């Protein structure tokens, strides 16, 4: 038997530009991002896309009759199988447009859910995506299905029409969601155990956050030597990854070990179902000692992307005064005055750093700043180490924190200058 590749689904992207929406985004960049989202699904072939300007939304159809007919002819001409609408589409609008155009239709939330479903690799990621998808489907049962007239009653002896199919469907989804929550609770407990075990070894946690495709994973690989999947694609990384990193201390200091965490990228209008479902994963950010906000500083909408990231962090419950460094990545893509202006401003502000995760420019300075951030106040202690505990004495020499020692009848009387972290590590030996 010969294997045949499945034919790609021919997709057309539509970005509705609603003139009455005060918070509407730049339509050109909105369409470009929607096309990039479509490109993130390997089974899609984006044939084309367009901006449709609307004075206001049509409740049942989204577009006006003339525009719907114009789009129908264009879709037929290009043999389109799937229409991607970059924005929210109600169940009634979806049903009406699919019937009129005779194609499948996905809104922005549905497309992002498809991408997450395709990318999830860990058990936790799969469960979270499935929960988000079911929550999304549950809201779209009303008037969205073709069999709503069916009734599922008893044998006819008891009065009443019985349970409608939509109620049965909703209850089936609720039952499945409950099962998924129980499975996810077990995974979350495991994550909490891991978090608790890390707390015993008090290494600081540094979490990377940022807009999708800002270069977080490239920076993560550069610093840790890991091989996290990297591609010029939205949501290339979905499941969180953690690695320990040893930061070299300034001359005379002690090297510092931190845990670096790479998280899922954010995006504007991130579906609320995903924010809720991925809360357990993103709790790594809530627990972080330092947040690194990686920005694509070369992107024309870098400011808007930064605001979107801030909004999602606020939704997660990040405090406004949470320690955060802003890293302006992809500085190598800027030239001339634009590059100099960014470099000058980053140099003038303590919490901003201009880097290139590809070339390594600015990375050593950033790592030195992270190390300095965790510089702890040192405490002088005097105590006796019994002769039988030679391992502890050797550790003090290894850490280079021993100021003096004197042999006595009971053991070595020592004076050390150490950090609270080192003292805790010593006590637990």
Q: 371 pLDDT exceeds 70?
A: yes
256-305: pLDDT as tens digits: 788 888 877 788 777 666 666 666 556 667 778 899 999 999 998 899 99
Question: Taking the model in full, what pTM does it have?
Answer: 0.69
107-155: pLDDT as tens digits: 988 888 888 777 776 677 778 778 888 888 777 764 443 443 444 333 3
Q: 160 pLDDT exceeds 80?
A: no
31-63: pLDDT as tens digits: 988 998 888 888 889 999 999 998 888 888 999
Distances (CA, A) of 152 to 73, 148, 149, 234: 41, 11, 10, 44
Mean pLDDT calculated for residue range 7-34: 87
**CB < 8 Å & 24+ apart, contacts of 354-359:** 354/297, 354/328, 355/219, 355/327, 355/328, 355/329, 355/331, 356/329, 356/330, 356/331, 356/332, 357/215, 357/218, 357/219, 357/222, 357/329, 357/330, 358/215, 358/218, 358/330, 358/332, 359/332
Distance of CA 409 to the CA centre of its chain: 59
The top-scoring range by mean pLDDT among 41-45, 163-167, 299-303, 353-357 is: 353-357
Q: Strands 256-262 and 241-247, how do they pair?
A: antiparallel
> What torsion do the CA atoms of 132, 134, 136, 140 make, to the nearest 10 degrees?
180
Q: Report percent pLDDT > 70 for the chain.
A: 79
Residue, of 359 and 200, whose pLDDT is higher: 359
pLDDT for 3: 43
pLDDT for 52: 94
With a CB cutoff of 8 Å and minimum separation 6, the contacts of 173 are 134, 137, 138, 141
378-402: pLDDT as tens digits: 788 999 999 999 899 998 988 888 8
Q: 408 pLDDT exceeds 50?
A: yes
Mean pLDDT calculated for residue range 366-389: 86
């Amino acid at each position: 038997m010969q294997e045949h590749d499945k034919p790609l689904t021919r997709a057309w992207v539509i970005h509705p530009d609603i003139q009455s929406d005060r918070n509407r985004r730049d339509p050109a960049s909105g369409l470009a991002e929607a096309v990039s989202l479509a490109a993130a699904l390997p089974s899609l072939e984006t044939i084309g896309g367009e901006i449709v300007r609307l004075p206001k939304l049509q409740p049942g159809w989204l577009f006006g009759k003339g525009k719907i007919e114009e789009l129908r002819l264009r879709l037929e001409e290009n043999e389109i199988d799937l229409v991607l609408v970059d924005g929210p589409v109600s169940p009634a609008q979806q049903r009406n447009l699919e019937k009129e155009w005779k194609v499948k239709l996905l809104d922005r939330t549905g497309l992002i859910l498809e991408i997450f479903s395709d990318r999830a690799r860990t058990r936790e990621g799969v469960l979270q995506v499935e929960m988000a998808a079911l929550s999304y489907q549950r809201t779209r049962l009303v008037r969205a299905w073709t069999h709503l007239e069916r009734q599922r009653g008893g044998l006819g002896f008891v009065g009443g029409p019985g349970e409608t199919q939509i109620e049965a469907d909703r209850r089936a989804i609720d039952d499945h969601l409950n099962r998924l929550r129980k499975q996810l609770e077990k995974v979350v407990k495991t994550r909490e155990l891991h978090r608790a075990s890390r707390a015993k070894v008090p290494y600081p946690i540094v979490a990377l956050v940022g807009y999708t495709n800002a270069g977080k994973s490239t920076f993560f690989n550069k610093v840790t030597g890991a091989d996290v999947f990297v591609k010029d694609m939205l949501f290339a990384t979905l499941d969180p990854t953690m690695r320990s990193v040893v930061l070299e201390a300034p001359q005379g200091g002690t090297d510092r070990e931190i845990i670096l965490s790479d998280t899922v990228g954010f995006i504007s209008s991130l579906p609320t179902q995903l924010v809720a479902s991925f809360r357990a994963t993103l709790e790594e950010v809530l627990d972080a000692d330092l947040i690194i906000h990686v920005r694509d500083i070369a992107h024309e909408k870098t400011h808007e992307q930064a605001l979107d990231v801030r909004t999602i962090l606020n939704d997660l419950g990040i405090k406004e005064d949470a320690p955060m460094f802003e890293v302006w990545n992809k500085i190598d893509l800027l030239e001339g005055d634009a590059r100099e202006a960014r470099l000058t401003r980053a140099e003038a502000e303590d919490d901003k750093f201009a880097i290139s995760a590809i070339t390594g420019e600015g990375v050593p300075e950033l790592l030195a700043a992270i190390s300095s951030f965790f510089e702890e106040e040192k405490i002088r202690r005097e105590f006796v180490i019994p002769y039988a505990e030679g391992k502890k004495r050797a550790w003090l020499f290894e850490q280079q924190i021993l100021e003096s020692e004197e042999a006595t009848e009971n053991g070595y009387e020592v004076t050390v200058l150490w950090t609270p972290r080192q003292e805790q590590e010593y006590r637990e030996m």
